[in-house]
Amino acid sequence: MLILASKSPRRRELITALGRPFVATSADADETLPAGLSPREAVTLLATRKAEAGAATAAPDDLVVGADTLVFYRGEALGKPSDEKDAVRMLTLLSGTEHEVWTGVAVWHGGHIFADAALTTVRFRKLTEREILRYVKTGEPMDKAGAYGIQGKGGKLVESYKGAFDNVIGLPVSLLAHLIEQHEKRDRMLSVVRILKEVYPDAACALEFGGDPWRLLVMGRLSAQCTDARVNEVCRDLFLRYPTPEAMANAALDELCEAVRPCGLHRTKGENLRDAARLLLDRFGGTLPDTMEELLLFPGVGRKIANLLLGDVFGKPAIVTDTHFIRICGRLGAYDESEKNPERIERLMTPLIPPEESSDFCHRIVQFGRDTCTARAPKCAGCPLRSVCAHGAQSAQ
Ligand code: SF4
């Protein structure tokens, strides 16, 4: 069931644009804000509190919507006016100038919340004192943030606006629809995580690094445009020859490059490995750091390898966007199948996978990509994910 946790009749009207049945409840939530929040953070926090308050009596399957709107004029948040004098003060401030209207929207479902905010910039025409007083006397400003309603008589005060109109009224429906869709995608990915866990109870990294962080960094670097099997084979000899970072840091470059030649791009990879070994020793005393920012300092290490290290060595949440992951999650419908940018995909997928499952999930996806959802000929007919896969559903038609 869709539940709108708001007393606002305007939000109750706007939410009908979703075209799905809903019930409205009033949810009381703390409206005080800590200092130093940006407008986006402030309205997102208030909307989240409202959704949480509404969820107190909801069932796990329900979708509970909270929203909050604030008007910002030169950094000052203008909420609902406390009295007519306050309304006159606000409208006088806004007269002849531009201000920002921010609405935060939060959607709770099964204990998880997706929340964000939308911005519309509004410009008022120059108002006379008489006009302001007359408008305040209509009573319309008294329950509205910034002391005006753009959808009512207050519309006459507005010269122009940039952004969504419904955001100014109090509920950006396209943002709400996006957040609901996020929950649908997350539900689907939770099913995928669960099913793959059953199919592949042991989630192991295909690179045989023996639990040694440095070796995983080396193997991760060598795996670019090379198969894991080839990297495993090459590294058996490589680590006999250069068993420690010290050995690799002092290696003759030509010999090191020759040793990694079968992995392709041997000059760049060889140079990267020698320089990475030197960095590890000179800057980190031989101990691999455990943050994304520091790992990215190593030559040849991008977010993919850094995430591999964070997940497998340090047990941290990690989305490793390798070629299997990119292909399969697109086919599953988590994002458009034409999306291939690893960083964007990492950003899109991070909120959809429980953090504690993410690293193992990535290993299972690789295995699944080799066994079933192959690049050229996915075996959709017997696929255990078919019931939750967008691509599989299409191929069944
Ligand atoms: S149904 Fe087909 S496309 Fe979807 S995950 Fe399975 S094999 Fe891949």
pLDDT tens per residue across span 63-118: 999 999 999 999 889 989 999 999 999 999 999 999 999 999 999 999 999 999 99
- Mean pLDDT, range 220-228, rounded to an integer: 95
- Mean pLDDT, range 377-392, rounded to an integer: 93
Compute the distance between CA of residue 171 and CA of residue 105 in angstroms, rounded to an integer: 7
Reply yes or no on whether the pLDDT at 397 is more than 70: no
Q: What share of the chain is helix, strand, coil (3-state, %, to 5)?
A: 55, 15, 35
**Half-sphere exposure of residue 40: CA atoms within 13 angstroms, side-chain side:** 6
How remote is the CA of residue 339 from the centroid of ligand 1, in Å? Answer: 17
Residue with tokens 């329900």: 62
- Mean pLDDT, range 339-351, rounded to an integer: 97
Q: What percent of the chain has pLDDT over 70?
A: 99
**Overall CATH class of domain 2-188:** alpha beta
Contact 192, 368 (CB under 8 A): no
pLDDT on residue 203? 85
- Mean pLDDT, range 138-155, rounded to an integer: 95
Q: Chain-wide mean pLDDT for the chain?
A: 96
User: Is residue 104 helix, strand or coil?
Assistant: strand
The reply to whether ligand 1 has any atom less than 6 angstroms from the CB of 331 is yes
pLDDT on residue 393? 74
Q: Which residues are 290's β-sheet partners? A: none
Pocket test residue of 361, 391, 395 for ligand 1, highest count of atoms within 8 A of CB: 391
Range name among 11-15, 24-28, 151-155, 351-355 with the lowest pLDDT average: 24-28
Top pLDDT among 393 and 266 is at: 266
- Mean pLDDT, range 178-192, rounded to an integer: 98
pLDDT on residue 396? 62
Q: Is 290 a catalytic residue?
A: no
For atom 4 of ligand 1, the residue with the nearest CA is 392
Q: What percent of the chain has pLDDT over 90?
A: 95
How remote is the CA of residue 391 from the centroid of ligand 1, in Å? Answer: 6
The reply to whether ligand 1 has any atom less than 6 angstroms from the CB of 43 is no
The reply to whether ligand 1 has any atom less than 6 angstroms from the CB of 27 is no
Burial of 47 (0-12, 13-18, 19+ CB in 10 A): buried
The reply to whether ligand 1 has any atom less than 6 angstroms from the CB of 49 is no
Pocket test residue of 193, 328, 387 for ligand 1, highest count of atoms within 8 A of CB: 328
- List, in sequence order, the alpha helices (H) in the chain: 9-14, 39-55, 84-94, 129-137, 165-169, 173-199, 213-222, 228-241, 245-249, 253-259, 266-284, 292-295, 303-312, 323-332, 342-349, 355-371, 390-396
- Mean pLDDT, range 301-308, rounded to an integer: 97
If pLDDT is split at 50, 70 and 90, which confidence band does 299 have?
Answer: very high
The reply to whether ligand 1 has any atom less than 6 angstroms from the CB of 300 is no
Q: Model confidence over 108-139: pLDDT tens digits?
A: 999 999 999 999 999 999 999 999 999 999 99
**Active-site residue (options: 30, 61, 62, 68):** 68
For atom 2 of ligand 1, the residue with the nearest CA is 380
User: In the chain, what are the domain boundaries?
Assistant: 2-188
Top pLDDT among 331 and 390 is at: 331
How remote is the CA of residue 349 from the centroid of ligand 1, in Å? Answer: 18
Which atom number of ligand 1 is nearest to the Cα of residue 393? Answer: 1
Compute the distance between CA of residue 297 and CA of residue 284 in angstroms, rounded to an integer: 11
The reply to whether ligand 1 has any atom less than 6 angstroms from the CB of 391 is yes
- Mean pLDDT, range 18-40, rounded to an integer: 93
The reply to whether ligand 1 has any atom less than 6 angstroms from the CB of 194 is no
